[in-house]
A = this chain, B = another copy of it.
């Protein structure tokens, strides 16, 4: 008999079905044994009665996380047993026949036990099976899908950027070294140079892929391998075209999440933010004035925002404009990468922006330099050797339109959306200073 998903059982009331999944909970009431069975689509309560002897015996032996297949009758529950708050709360499966597909050993702890982050990570193949983790990564998959769908609608083409990069280009202190046939290669910190090259080919491109930061800090918002959602678009008037595109993209993602994941957000006690028609924007200097005036700390023209400043600005944005999002633009050009475009009307400052969301930066973007000579001059100012960028520079030798883009960390966005305390909870298999799956030996 064809397997029926548990989520579809309501269409089979009064009929015999075959279902399969994991034993979620087993409650032994002597003659009656209740088992909650779980598959990818949901959960259902089953009951084993003594008159179906073999099924009853099997129900007696199974334990949580055993995988079983069951032939059973889909019965309506008696009125007083109906649980209206549960998906299959009005039905019950009477077990007729059952077989074990796979046993499970004793569990390290009961599922759903609150454990500390290290214990969670030590046991991921088990802890990812909790409703909480499943919800997080379902939401994350939908963010990726919505991101792609929106950009494809807008005429962007997806490409795969290489992660293995040469000795030239953006290497440096924060990159991991790879032993490459007698050479030292690096793991990419971003697809930046490649997405700019691709603007010369397709004008509008995006990429989704892992990037690497060999940073030794251990905070709740950093990981050493993460997924970067990147876009780059040509023929822009300036960086505000990129900000507008991101604004629309975020609105689309939130709309999709609302349609598909109300239940997951409820489970996690998180709220899907409203995206304003136009996300408010402050220049860094304006933002610093506000911090001074409203929060009593003078950032004194610091070239960047401290984490506390980001939190304050988000608080201010929420209060003033009812927006969970706020753009901060015009950081000093000296503190931005060599390819960043300086604002000709506000010299010394970049046509670039960060996007802050619920207290943290989730995006960095900018208009880029498209003129070859300007780019060479900018490299020289930053003491970079243009020779090392010869491959990339070809794009600019052979005609590049004004362009810009941004990068967004998928895990950090997921964590902030779902109000998770640590980005590692939104990273399937997080790598950090001390851990690749297991803790690294000292």
Contact = CB atoms under 8 A, between A and B. Distances in A.
Interface of A: 3, 20, 22-23, 39-40, 65-67, 101-105, 107, 123-126, 128-129, 133-134, 137-138, 141, 144-145, 148, 152, 155, 157-166, 168-169, 176-181, 183, 185, 187, 194, 197-198, 200-204, 209-210, 212, 214, 216, 224-225, 227, 235, 370-372, 390-392, 394-395, 397-402, 410, 428-429, 431, 433, 436-438, 440-441
Contacts of A410: 160
Contacts of A66: 399
Contacts of A129: 200-201, 398
Contacts of A20: 235, 401
A67 B202 CA distance: 14
Contact of A101 (B101, B160, B209, B402): B402
B123 A431 contact: no
Nearest to A166: B436
B201 A370 contact: no
A123 B197 CA distance: 11
A429 to B, nearest CB: 5
B225 A164 contact: yes
Contacts of A227: 160
A331 B3 CA distance: 30
A131 to B, nearest CB: 11
B102 A371 contact: yes
Report the copy number of this chain in the oligomer: 2
B157 A137 contact: yes
Given A145-B148, A161-B428, A162-B429, 8 more contacts: A66-B399, A102-B400, A105-B372, A124-B391, A125-B392, A137-B157, A145-B158, A162-B225
Closest 5 A/B residue pairs (Cβ): A104-B399, A65-B399, A166-B436, A125-B395, A125-B394
A124 B201 CA distance: 10
A67 B234 CA distance: 11
B176 A176 contact: no
A345 to B, nearest CB: 18
Nearest to A193: B437
- Residue of A102, A165, A194, A402 contacting most chain B CB atoms (<10 Å): A102
Nearest to A155: B40
B194 A162 contact: no
Contacts of A177: 178-179
5 contacts: A125-B391, A126-B398, A128-B201, A145-B152, A160-B428
B203 A40 contact: yes
Given A235-B3, A401-B101, A138 B157 contact: yes
Nearest to A185: B436
A398 B105 contact: yes
Contacts of A183: 436, 440-441
A123 B394 contact: yes
Contacts of A212: 164
Contacts of A159: 137, 141, 428
A44 to B, nearest CB: 15
Given A181-B216, A371-B102, A390-B438, A401 B67 contact: yes
A355 to B, nearest CB: 22
